[in-house]
Amino acid sequence: MIKKKMTSTDLRMASEDYGDYIKVVVDIETKTMVIGGEWHVDGEKILRENGSHQINLWGGGVDINNHEISYSAMTNIKPGVNNGHVILDVKTRQQFDKIVKEKLGYE
């Protein structure tokens, strides 16, 4: 779980599952991010255990070579919210993007 900025150790551990691609789940309210893991639901579980609410959790991934962010995760499918597996809402996507970039040191 990343609350401030990711370290090189965090990055190395997160890349163990998929190499140059790391999965991320972000709580857009608390600006907390979980990185790595085989499934987004693993990160979602960690955040929920630490007080996050499902409606604030959004998933995607990052290609660590070119810093490209993806916005696709099954955790993005939410009952009552007009959204599929990709983050569709512009404001939510911007919040997700900003938090991911800050945590990874891309900004």
State residue 53's pLDDT score: 96
Query: Tens digits of per-residue pLDDT, 17-60?
Result: 888 999 999 999 999 999 988 899 999 999 999 999 999 999 99
Average pLDDT, the chain: 91
Contact predicate 77/83, CB 8 Å: yes
What pTM was estimated for this model as a whole?
0.90
Question: 8 falls in which pLDDT band (50, 70, 90)?
Answer: confident
From first CA to last CA, the distance across the chain in angstroms is 19
